[in-house]
Amino acid sequence: MEEQAKRKTVLSGIQPTSNLTLGNYLGALKNFVAMQQDFDSYYMVADMHAITVRQESARLRRRSIETLALFLACGIDPEKSTLFIQSHVPEHAMLTWVLSCNAYMGELNRMTQFKDKSARHADNINAGLFTYPVLMAADILLYQAHLIPVGADQKQHVELTRNLAERFNRAYGDTFVVPEPYIPKVGARIMSLQDPTSKMSKSDPNPNGFIAMLDDPDAIRRKLRRAVTDCEGCVTEDDSGRPGVYNLLTICSACSGSPVQEVSRELCGQGCGALKDRTADAVIAVLEPIQREYGRLLGDKQYLTDTLRQGAEKAGRTAQKTLRKVYHKVGFDSVKA
Ligand code: TYM
């Protein structure tokens, strides 16, 4: 029991916008599963974040459940972790308001994801897109999380969260744990298969650029065979300066568990075709069992609904505790709370 009380807390989330990619798995989900053994873990489907870009409601609802099923299929165990959908816990929106009043326009303006997304959705640069990192800070701070497993692209948002937590603590006295990002050594930034200088992304209009977690083995092999490498045919002992080859080595390493140098050494002198085949084998070995379990879980709607209900209750209890403290500190009347 005492052991339990000392465990640190982990929180992370993934947007349910479309098929998750191998990048989401290697940068985030894989670590969610590993970390639940040693931490008090909260993992959420970030549906509130998803509506910063216009969504079709029935589709978003379905995707949220499917994303939850994928979390479970990867090995997140609802007995060990609290699994929930963000919008089921209203405290996220409530804390966001308080934090918004402590966030500066200037610091939000510097967020690179805001700049990228506004460029991509120039017809819908809404205020939510701008304040999105504040909602993310609320997600983290509500659960007093110590560690945030994310890919490299989310590091800036976790840093903003740290700044907001420290600012609030200075103004109102110790309230929030100041979190740290947890970014994996291998897999923090999986690149597009078609343009290895940009991130693999689920919103890439070219499906050959990414491997979806639900792609079948033939599609995985085909996409990897078409992956852009470079014209020097062979794998060498050090390919860190060759973005396309290095991306495949990283994927192969992260999926097989062998260090990059070991994969390089084994394939040294062989053509890129051999590396592509080896990578496809490693990716399929990881994704196939997840896909089988995902299919099974989707057939068990009752289990998914029960898991969500329990998750929302558990997450809600923790979130309410923090929010009550915050409301009191900022001077809101507690009669109703
Ligand atoms: P999202 O949904 O864009 O991505 C989910 C996670 O996947 C990681 N990721 C990648 N990692 C490596 N290589 C890639 N190509 C790649 N693409 C995506 C992301 O870094 C992320 O960890 N705002 C977040 C979701 C969120 C969240 C939170 C995360 C909402 N609240 C609180 C942590 C804590 C997002 O949009 O991630």
Nearest to 313 by CA among 142, 82, 81, 66: 82
Ligand 1: which of 86, 130, 153, 197 to mutate, most ligand atoms within 8 Å of CB? 153
Give how far Cα 323 sits from Cα of 45, 119, 274, 317, 318, Å: 20, 35, 54, 10, 9
pLDDT in tens, 236-276: 888 999 999 999 999 999 999 999 999 999 999 999 999 99
To 10 degrees, what angle do helices 272-298 and 217-225 make? 150
Nearest to 193 by CA among 121, 283, 114: 283
Mean pLDDT of the region 89-96 = 98
- Closest Cα to atom 36 of ligand 1: 15
Q: Looking at the predicted structure, is the pLDDT value of residue 12 above 90?
A: yes
CB under 6 Å to ligand 1: residues? 11-15, 23-24, 26-28, 46, 49, 136, 139-140, 148, 150-151, 153-154, 188-190, 199-200
Average pLDDT, the chain: 95
Distance between Cα 33 and ligand 1 center (Å): 15
Per-residue confidence band for 335, with pLDDT thresholds at 50, 70 and 90: low
Mean pLDDT of the region 102-122 = 93
Per-residue confidence band for 120, with pLDDT thresholds at 50, 70 and 90: confident
String of b and e for 18-42 (b: at least 16 CB within 10 Å)?
ebbbbbbbbbbbbbbbebbeebbbb
pLDDT at 18: 77
- Closest Cα to atom 26 of ligand 1: 13
pLDDT in tens, 221-238: 999 999 999 877 789 888
**1 contact partners, CB below 8 Å, separation of at least 6:** none
**How many whole angstroms separate alpha carbon 145 and alpha carbon 264?**
37
Q: Are strands 147-149 and 81-85 parallel, antiparallel or unpaired?
A: unpaired
The answer to whether 64 touches 45, Cβ cutoff 8 Å, is yes
Is 117 catalytic? The answer is yes
Mean pLDDT of the region 288-298 = 98
pLDDT at 6: 75
Mean pLDDT of the region 311-318 = 98
Q: Kindly report the pTM of this predicted structure.
A: 0.95
**How many whole angstroms separate alpha carbon 60 and alpha carbon 190?**
25
